[in-house]
Structure 1
Amino acid sequence: MNSRRVLWSALGAVALVAVIGGAWIFSLPPASSAAAPPAITQDERDATVAALKPPKRQRPLIAIIGINDATETTDYLMPYGILKRADVADVVTLATKPGPVTLFPTLKVEPQATTAEFDAQHSDGADYVIVPAMSRDDDPDALQWIRSQSAKGAIVIGVCAGAKVVGDAGLLHDRQATTHWYSVKELRGKHPTMRYVRDRRLVVDKGVATTTGITASMPMSLTLIEAIAGPDKARAVGREIGLAEWDARHESDAFKFTRPFALTAIRNTAAVWAHEQLGIELKGGVDEVSLALVTDAWSRTYRSRAVTFASTADAQHSRGGLRILPDQVAADWPTARLLPANENVKPAEALDHALAGIAARYGTDTADFVAMQLEYPKHPTP
């Protein structure tokens, strides 16, 4: 009886949306346009790399800050995993307070230090501060620390909607910037002196860098490696993770709130009887990039949530030494709801495989819906 009530409540909600919001839904564009992104000139590429050169140390110190309550999964883990793999800088994950960082929409990690501990060890500050999207843009501890690091000469990098946090820290005034497609209007409204740049995955201006959607932290990290250690090192890491070519090019018009996007969100949310929890085994040595991309994607379908499981509650050390806490203690997981570990897939290819799996399980509309949230131009599965 209870499940039937939930079902009818969901259907009633959908009917209400259809009646009240029908005109709004059909006012949305039927689909996003897709065209070849404009090319990036060599001069622009060189200028971007030059603007990201290490400001202090020969071997830079990179700090990735999060708040303990809901910092975006891929924004936090992907730069860490790629930069640690490159081994061209010292990379540390931080939280504003003691204790684990709960990532959104999935995973929980133990940061390597608090911001206060970092300051005690590095009074001259970091070379780079990477700012993910957070559950709130105005966390006072995060904003104060970001401002203080900028004042000490750090290059501040806002990943995706982390640009909103950077903006609230007062660092977007009279600067060019970009952000996730969904946050552009809000960011421009709050920071009218900011100059929004279209069709770029990465924008750097006067010691502040910003990126577009969640997946942009991959080309951003490789560009940062190039700035630190040169193009050969960046290309070598790119090949290792499965991204042989990259630059700042982007097609902004391909990402927007469309009718299929809205209808997929409504349909998948309403299908409460078909919602499921999918498990991925958490093992020592897991690649942070692959784990982040796979769990993030599967947790954005509005049909499923990805959780990690392990035989004990102990944290598992990732490939780069980060301690990741399992969501559940379990010896195994039902095969029908078990996500592949992607152990033999290069990290940059893990998302394509996840999207192909989502399309097979829930349909192409849902895979497109997830890719739109991640601001990711889909590619054929290798």
Structure 2
Amino acid sequence: MSARYLPWLAGLTLLLCSVIAVVGWRYVSPGSTVLPEHRPLELPAPKEGRNRHLVAVMGANEGTETTDFMIPYGVLKASGQFEVVSVSTGPGPVQLHPALTVRLDQTREAFDAAQPEGADIVIVPALHRADDPEAIQWLQRQAASGAVIVGVCDGVLTLAHAGLLRDKLATGHWFSLGRLGRQFKDTTWVRGWRFVADDRVVTTTGVSASLPVSLALVEAAAGAAHADRLALDLGIEDFDVRHDSDAFGLSFAMLLTIARNALAFWNHERLELPVEDGIDEIALALSADAWSRTFRSRVVATHPDRRWVRSRRGLVIEAVQDMDATETLQPVIDPSAAALDDTLVEIGERYGMPTASLVAMQLEYVW
């Protein structure tokens, strides 16, 4: 290895050691509680003049978590029970994190002009800037109009900044519960459930909770039988809300895996994931998100000659042409939810089981 990389490696090593030193403080959750019973998720009737609930799935242009955004969009669209609109904070494409770029239906301003009475349900994924004042004011207006606000994963942090969790029960990603508990002491932070509903506010645990909370919304709107059929269609055998929150945490072995994968930059890969019209956005999100959390690989959606493709349920996804990739991944296939397990197996085969387990831990997924 060239000597010119040594200062860079020394700096990165120091940074990783600092992360190891403080990470325990970051996610220890003081004062969180376990509820003996789970409150069911209930929806009010659609607003006057509507036959179905209008759902606004929010995305921040500068950064929105991939699965938090795409799973609720895809599942609620697939149910056929909602009018689903994707809403961006501003004009132009929305950069998803850690992978993919999408173009949404409307900006906030266009949505407000078209729907002055507001949405029935607003989905809030983890946003790059959780305390964005304009996003917070928009959510406050939506909540004041009577909308049910659903914070997915670290979207919960934006709800907290908006004051929507004051004097309520809530949950969050295992890594964030400690910070949430210290910063927002007027909220009762809950462990042991995939999502928590309190009046017209719903909060979830980590990234993979986007699936059960989406199915719970379907059940609240259309009944258990419809939700069960949809779950089977998507390849989900069980979407139980019970959750062992205490099973999640960063071990020293996982921190070493992060350090090993991040420091070995000469082994980092760009992986090509072909997309085309009609691709399943649920499976795509799960696969692209997981591959991009290995600290060794980054996924780029590609198409031979088109920049934009439209997913099975209408989401417009950006594709790159002529990419110099390390390897081309197999296109994602049905059933939708099986993509995550399949991807974790492939990650384990390519990078080793410690890396696959690290990815599952980030997604707060039992695997």
Q: What TM-score, normalized by structure 1, do the two folds share?
A: 0.88
Q: Give the C-alpha shift of residue 39 in structure 1.
A: 11
The equivalent of 2:31 in structure 1 is none
**What are the within-5 Å matches in structure 2 for residues 179-258 of structure 1?**
179-258=172-251
SS, match of residue 92 in structure 1: strand
Q: Mean alpha-carbon deviation: is it higher for 190-199 or for 308-317?
A: 308-317
1:232-268 CA-to-partner distances (Å, cap 9, x unmatched) read 1100100000012212110011111221221111111
1:270-301 CA-to-partner distances (Å, cap 9, x unmatched) read 01110010000011101111111100100000
**What are the within-5 Å matches in structure 2 for residues 9-24 of structure 1?**
9=7, 11-13=9-11, 16=14, 24=21
Q: Give the C-alpha shift of residue 130 in structure 1.
A: 0.3
Does the 8 Å contact 1:125/1:154 carry over to 2?
yes
The equivalent of 1:356 in structure 2 is 345
Does the 8 Å contact 1:157/1:209 carry over to 2?
yes
Does the 8 Å contact 2:20/2:255 carry over to 1?
no
Give the one of 168, 174, 195 matched to 2:161. 168
How many pairs does the alignment contain?
357
Q: What TM-score, normalized by structure 2, do the two folds share?
A: 0.91
**What are the within-5 Å matches in structure 2 for residues 269-284 of structure 1?**
269-284=262-277
Does the 8 Å contact 1:39/1:249 carry over to 2?
no
Does the 8 Å contact 2:35/2:192 carry over to 1?
no
**Closer, same or farther: CA 14–151 of 1 in aligned 2, 3 Å:** closer
Q: Give the C-alpha shift of residue 312 in structure 1.
A: 2.3
**Closer, same or farther: CA 197–268 of 1 in aligned 2, 3 Å:** same
Distance 2:72 2:4 in 1: 40
**What are the within-5 Å matches in structure 2 for residues 1-382 of structure 1?**
4-5=2-3, 7-9=5-7, 11-13=9-11, 16=14, 24=21, 44=38, 47-49=39-41, 51-54=42-45, 56=47, 57-326=50-319, 328-330=320-322, 337-343=327-333, 345-378=334-367
Q: Give the C-alpha shift of residue 22 in structure 1.
A: 11
The equivalent of 2:29 in structure 1 is none
**Closer, same or farther: CA 365–321 of 1 in aligned 2, 3 Å:** same
Q: Give the C-alpha shift of residue 9 in structure 1.
A: 4.1
Does the 8 Å contact 1:28/1:258 carry over to 2?
no
**Closer, same or farther: CA 166–17 of 1 in aligned 2, 3 Å:** closer
Letter in 2 for 1:223: A
**Closer, same or farther: CA 305–188 of 1 in aligned 2, 3 Å:** same
**Closer, same or farther: CA 145–274 of 1 in aligned 2, 3 Å:** same
Does the 8 Å contact 1:96/1:114 carry over to 2?
yes
**Closer, same or farther: CA 6–99 of 1 in aligned 2, 3 Å:** farther
Any stretches of 5+ residues in structure 2 without a counterpart? 26-33
Letter in 2 for 1:329: Q
Q: Give the C-alpha shift of residue 347 in structure 1.
A: 1.1
Letter in 2 for 1:315: W
1:130-169 CA-to-partner distances (Å, cap 9, x unmatched) read 0000111111221111100000000000000000001111
1:64-84 CA-to-partner distances (Å, cap 9, x unmatched) read 111100111111111001111
Does the 8 Å contact 2:207/2:363 carry over to 1?
yes
Any stretches of 5+ residues in structure 1 without a counterpart? 30-37
Distance 1:28 1:116 in 2: 41
SS, match of residue 175 in structure 2: helix
**Closer, same or farther: CA 191–40 of 1 in aligned 2, 3 Å:** closer
Distance 1:208 1:178 in 2: 11
Letter in 2 for 1:373: Q
Distance 1:40 1:239 in 2: 28
